Structures are given as C-alpha cells and as structure tokens.
Structure 1
C-alpha cells in the first residue's frame, strides 16, 4: 500500500493524524522500519498481511512520534497507532474545552486521572496519554492475564510505573470499579471494546466488505467478541454511569461501526443525556472508527470537539456555537453594543477590551420579556424597599448582620455561561456551560436583535 502524508507536531500538542502514514519519512527516521519496506515504482509500501511487518509499523510510529517503546505478543492485537492517537487527542480536547477556567486551552498544570477499560498487551492508550501530557495519570484493567503481563512490561520499559497502575479484572466485575480502586473521581473513562457479538458476526463483517481487511488481525477471542458486541459493552458502561453520575467527568468509548454509534446515541437520548460528543477517528483512506462521550456535568465542549470529523446529522449533539454576522461593523463597535446590552441584565459579565472577548454567566433567563417586566417592577418599588429595610434595621436591638442572607459570588449557580468574541463583521458565541440549549439560543437571539435589529 502506498503512503501519502503524516502529521508532525510536538509531543505535548501533537495534532490528529489526518492521512496515511508517510512511509518515506518514517523510513528515514527508523532503520528497522526501512528494513521491512518494499519499493515499487519509486514508492515505498509494506505488506499489511504480515503480522511481523504490522508490529514493526506500530513500534516504529510509537518510537518516532511519541518516544514510546513496546513489545507485543504474536497472539494478541497489534494496535494501529493513528486511530488510537486520534482517540487520545480527542479526549484531550474534551477535557481542555470543559474546564472551569473557560480557557479552551491545554493547561499544563492540570492533573488528570483517566481509566482505560481493556488495556490490551500494548497498553497503548495509557502510554500515549502519559507520554503526551506530563501531569496525566492512568489506571487500566484487563480480564486477560497474558495481555496484562505484557502491558505491565511495557509500562515498566517506559518508566511509567508511578503514573500508570494496572489491575486484573474479571468478565463479571464492574467496568468502572471506583470504590474497589479507592478512587473518588475520574476525569475520564475510555475503552476500545470488542466490536463483535459472536464469531458469526465477525465473519459476516468481513464478508460484507467490498475490500478485504486492510491489515491482518491477530486478536484473541476476548479482544474481538463480547456479548452484544461494542454496543453491548458500551451499554454496560452507560448503565454504570447512571449510578456513578458526576464521579466521572467524561465517559467515552470507541465504536467499530457507524450503526453502533447511532444506537449508543439513541440510548443516551432515552436517558435524557444531552451533554454528549461524537467523533469520527478516521486517520487514513481506509480505517474508520467512531467514538462517543457523555457527561452528567454542565460544561460544554467546543463545537468542533463535540461534533468532530465526518458524521451523519442524526448523531450530532446540539451545537455549542453560533455566529452573528454584523456586516460593515468593526470589533470595537460590536463590543460596545454587546457590553451595553449585557450590562442591563442581572448577570455576571467580564469583558476584555484588548481581545474583544467577554464571558457572561447567568443563573436563569433574565432577558425574556417577563424577566424584564419583573425587573422594572422591582426597580420602581426599590425606593420603598430601601425605606422598609432601614426601618427594620433601626428596630434590631442587637445590631447583628444577617449573614445567612449574603451570597458568595463563588457559589452562584450557573444556568448559562457564554463566551462572546467580537470580530470585524461577526460576533461569535460559544456555549460554555449549562443544561438548557433553548436558554443558549435565546441569549444568542437577544444579542442578534441588539446587533442587527433582526430576530
């Protein structure tokens, strides 16, 4: 198979693989990979049906792109690196864009703890996570002792013993055993589950494909098959998440078929889970996988993260961004107009003139007509209320302040948080936090009317 391109970036902020691996570039960096390549018509290619060749490709990519060294048994899955890295990278972006700082950027100081269910012999996900983010730690489990022995060896080889902890599990054990692991909370859970429900199901998947499998499969039965296939496995995680709730910020899972993604998204909706994200993890022209994530918290991922990659409309979550076109108007004017509009509301508003960016936090809808009428009524009655309070204070003999009536700003419950970015001829709105999509769109409507005079 010929190659086209690969992604080059630093280890901490490496971007997604978006094409097939550049065999020429990899061969130039790694002699062991160069030795297994074949050349035809001035193009390098490798035999993806040779298990040894596929293993070497994985080892070379991990070594050259991430500084990771692994050993793999011949009778267990050899993980393709690009799709695995794309999964990790997506999880990174999920966490980066749902933090309480609202920064939407990687925070090198943030400590993160994740769990990989089914680490496999390679232990590739924990190794990639920790190699790319120095403050991340991982727990991992597997029901296969043979795979776990190799995984532990790979952790030790890479000096990750203090940051990656592995445990042998059983088929009947909870998939997310927080209490047994003595872990109060996790930042994320991830899994690359068996895709098939039976041997017949697996064979049918190969038979129905127009092209043969792109690479030889050396996976053991427990890596390929489980009751209900990938949907059944992820449903188990969903059932456990309904009990664990916010003890995990993001529950995530890879899926082998678009139809599986559609079924899982339908199950999320059945349980009223609206804060979810989906991605297509395709890294080359053949291999295509999908992933889903859901959260019981109210921090919303950036729109390009929540709806990442090539996807069908039916699986998409509500958008977390809107753009208001403001023709012929500059950022300064738009910022002043937005500021004047928001300052009339009972909300928290932070504005940065240098960057023309503001963040609005509201406890509820205070911009509806009924809310504005209520505010006007309260305002007109304000003078009398002040007099009543003063009279009550005169009658308070002990003079103690009623501290229970005070509200700490840090404890304000946020019903909606939105970042407003003013640019020349456009204002971008980013839904940061909240559980009510209608509330977000109604605030967007308020600003649109203020900026354009149109609903």
Structure 2
C-alpha cells in the first residue's frame, strides 16, 4: 500500500511527485538510474539501488532547494520527501509557542547529509540549528555540506562522544525551542537484516552500523535515554521529539510517556511511498495548547472512517427463535444486555476494550503451548511481550465503555441481523458475530 496520500499537506511532493524524466535531463549522474516501464513507458527508479537513491536525493536537494550536498556511498542516503515531513511537523509544533523573531532547533545525530538543518534553514528564514554527530566521517561531510551552502552562521555543528549526555552540545546557557532525533532503529545486525529482507521492503540501505544499530535496545532504548536526559534540561527546551521506525517501539514509548510526568504529549505519522514512520513529541510546559497542532493526514483519514454495520441472514425463520438464541449467546459470554421490541428486536449492551483485548492471540498462545515443539522460545517471548504491551495499554482504557447494538428484523429472505458498534471494537464484534452466525 502506498502512503503518499497521507504525506504532510504542505509537503511539495504530495501533489507533485519528482519528475524523473526532467531530472534525468538536468542531472547526467542521475540519468543512468532512470528506467522505463515496458508496458506503460513511464519512467521509474529502483529504490532498492542505493546509488539511485543517493543520486535522486542530491538532485532533489539541488533542484528544489538550491542545496549542493555530498553523500558518501557507505553512509545513509536520506529520502528528501520523508525528511521534509519531519521539518513541516516541527513547524506545526511551534504554533503552540508564542510568536518569536527567532527559533532554535537542536538535531541529535545530523548524519553525513545534515539534511534536517539544511532543509530547516532553507524553509524558515528565522530558524537556526545546533546539531550533534558522533561519527567522524559523518561530521566531516556534514561540516562540508554546511560550509558549501554558505550556512555556517545558521547551522552550528558539534562532534560528540557516544557516552556524552545527548544535550551536552547545548552547554549551560543555550535555550532551544524544539529538539529532533532520528535514532538508530535496530538493536543488532540480525535485527536490521531481517527488516531489509521483508517482502514489503521497497528501499535500500547503505548506512554504517552506528547509524542503524543501537545495541542497547534499538530505537525504543534510545528514546528512553532521550527521555531520561530530557528531564535534566526540561527548563531550557520547549519541545522534545523523536522518530521511530518500529510501531511497537512507538506505542510502547507513548505509554511510558503517559506515566512520566510530561505536561503535553502528541504524535504523528510520516508517510512516503510504502514506508510509514512514527513520531512523538512531549513537553514539560503545562500552558501549551496542543489543540493548535493539526492532526496528521493519516489520523484524519482514520477518524473519518465509518464502519458499516455487520449484516448477515439468520438460519432461524422467526424473530422469536433468533431472539432466544442471541440472548443465550450473550449470557454465555457474560454480557449484560437490554432488549427493545418495536417491530424488530434490539439488543443493547456495553463492553470495554480491555474485556476482549487480543483474545485471538491469547487463544493462539494457549494452542501453541499444547504443542510446544512448534513454538520456539523467541516466538513465545515475542507474543508474550506484545500481550504485555497491549494489556498495559488497555488497562488505562478499562473504564471506557462502548455501546453495541444488535438489530433483528424481518426482510424478504427471512430474519436479518445487524451488529453496530464503535470501530475500536472491531475484533470484539467479529468474535460475537462468529457465535451468532453459527447458531442463529
């Protein structure tokens, strides 16, 4: 599935994707990477080829932002549209702050391209950046890219040690409006290789180990380190943000933030092509009006989605038989309900998400336990860890009750059943419908 429709609304590539044909005409080094479909004759680029990705990024930065950058072949080559999404989201976050003449952004780990600071100052005349980098080669290229583009007065780079506090480049006096971080996603080389080998992966990876791997636990562990360090500078930085490459890390960290004493919390998605990334922002300022932050395009689409009632024809020929069967099924499931009779039969009952959370996964785990030889230790731990995260998440919502309705009515074909509920209860309602379809 392509996610381009969910890109940030201000992203120039959302409605005008890169024209590979025109770029090939202007940039000879990119021309050799443009291929044409045999069927449609349309130009395309193989994003699994790291050289093609690197040349495309250089072309877009030069053509659309007047930036000349050098990208080493053994380091990560950033995709410009996705990086642009992050910068545009920072603009959204800054809407919560009082209007200022100047904004300071801190980029933790700028990489060889230094793409976030370069894009940030090009798009915002009143932004300046402080950026850190631990890798010597990355720092050298980043410094060169900043100098080549005449931006040394607006982008200040610091080479740091891996053991340093993440905010050490700020010294004792610098105040920052927002900090950003694109951390290593993986916790080991094996973890990274499994990700690249997935059938859905549609991009290459040519990065150095330190750029992609944080051995202490991947992006989640890095985020937890950032949170610990952020509490020490919370009076000097207004917004803290971090991007995730794994949704499980994203959801786990959001849950941790909710119990960490932060005053404001928001999140978003960065979408490009077949790739989705997730980002979280938090602040220790209790006067921020986060309602000013626009929802992401993905969140808006999700909130506008309405599920149609689940409808099926009953085997029983009379309303009375169907009503008795439904009553018996709900009673067996320990669900309290009320009924109304107005030409049809209406069952009303309430349930909470936590009562039904991941029942299918739990049943599957119980089945696996009976045939333990089929379940390796690693897989069992993975399932149990996901259950723990899900149960912890659902516990906070255990008091939230959702109303569900079951309509039984006559039509030309007999008795029809319709089940209506909040979309959040899709798994639960599907479970109930299985019982109903079998027995009424």
TM-score between both structures, scaled by the size of structure 1: 0.60
CA deviation vs aligned residue, 1:207-235 (integer Å, no higher than 9, x gap) = 4x332x32221100000101211111111
d(CA) in 2 for partners of 1:53 and 1:310?
28
d(CA) in 1 for partners of 2:266 and 2:7?
24
SS, match of residue 204 in structure 2:
coil
Do the aligned partners of residues 273 and 309 (structure 1) sit closer, same or farther apart at CA in structure 2, a change above 3 Å counting?
farther
**Does residue 261 of the first structure (1) align with residue 250 of the second (2)?**
yes
**Does residue 99 of the first structure (1) align with residue 97 of the second (2)?**
yes
Instruction: Name 2:137's counterpart in structure 1.
Output: 146
SS, match of residue 246 in structure 1:
coil
Do the aligned partners of residues 23 and 4 (structure 1) sit closer, same or farther apart at CA in structure 2, a change above 3 Å counting?
farther
**Does residue 37 of the first structure (1) align with residue 25 of the second (2)?**
no
d(CA) in 2 for partners of 1:154 and 1:237?
27
Do the aligned partners of residues 304 and 111 (structure 1) sit closer, same or farther apart at CA in structure 2, a change above 3 Å counting?
closer
In structure 1, which of residues 208, 214, 219 is the aligned counterpart of residue 202 of structure 2?
Answer: 214
CA deviation vs aligned residue, 1:308-356 (integer Å, no higher than 9, x gap) = 2425999x9xxxxxxxxxxxxxxxxxxxxxxxxxxxxxxxxxxxxxxxx
Instruction: Name 2:184's counterpart in structure 1.
Output: 194
Pairs aligned (count): 297
CA deviation vs aligned residue, 1:408-432 (integer Å, no higher than 9, x gap) = xxxxxxxxxxxxxxxxxxxxxxxxx
SS, match of residue 299 in structure 1:
coil
d(CA) in 1 for partners of 2:3 and 2:195?
26
Note if contact 1:279-1:291 (Cα within 8 Å) is conserved in structure 2: yes
* 1:234-253 correspondence runs (5 A): 234-253=223-242
**Does residue 168 of the first structure (1) align with residue 159 of the second (2)?**
yes
Q: CA offset at residue 203 of structure 1?
A: 2.3
d(CA) in 2 for partners of 1:4 and 1:311?
14
SS, match of residue 61 in structure 2:
helix
Note if contact 1:155-1:164 (Cα within 8 Å) is conserved in structure 2: yes
* 1:217-228 correspondence runs (5 A): 217-226=205-214, 227-228=216-217
User: Structure 1 stretches of 5 or more lacking a match?
Assistant: 102-108, 317-455
Do the aligned partners of residues 26 and 183 (structure 1) sit closer, same or farther apart at CA in structure 2, a change above 3 Å counting?
farther
Instruction: Name 1:204's counterpart in structure 2.
Output: 194
In structure 1, which of residues 27, 31, 52 is the aligned counterpart of residue 23 of structure 2?
Answer: 27
Instruction: Name 2:298's counterpart in structure 1.
Output: 310
* 1:274-353 correspondence runs (5 A): 274-284=263-273, 286-297=274-285, 298-302=287-291, 305=294, 307-311=295-299
SS, match of residue 91 in structure 2:
helix
Note if contact 1:3-1:45 (Cα within 8 Å) is conserved in structure 2: no
d(CA) in 2 for partners of 1:281 and 1:149?
28
Do the aligned partners of residues 99 and 3 (structure 1) sit closer, same or farther apart at CA in structure 2, a change above 3 Å counting?
closer
Note if contact 2:175-2:236 (Cα within 8 Å) is conserved in structure 1: yes
Do the aligned partners of residues 8 and 172 (structure 1) sit closer, same or farther apart at CA in structure 2, a change above 3 Å counting?
closer
SS, match of residue 293 in structure 1:
strand
d(CA) in 1 for partners of 2:231 and 2:4?
44
* 1:49-198 correspondence runs (5 A): 49-95=48-94, 97-100=95-98, 110-177=101-168, 180=171, 182-198=172-188
Note if contact 1:117-1:191 (Cα within 8 Å) is conserved in structure 2: yes
Note if contact 1:3-1:44 (Cα within 8 Å) is conserved in structure 2: no
Do the aligned partners of residues 239 and 29 (structure 1) sit closer, same or farther apart at CA in structure 2, a change above 3 Å counting?
farther
Do the aligned partners of residues 52 and 15 (structure 1) sit closer, same or farther apart at CA in structure 2, a change above 3 Å counting?
closer
d(CA) in 2 for partners of 1:16 and 1:292?
23
Q: CA offset at residue 19 of structure 1?
A: 6.7
d(CA) in 2 for partners of 1:179 and 1:249?
14
TM-score between both structures, scaled by the size of structure 2: 0.62
Runs of 4+ in 1 over 6 A off after TM superposition: 2-9
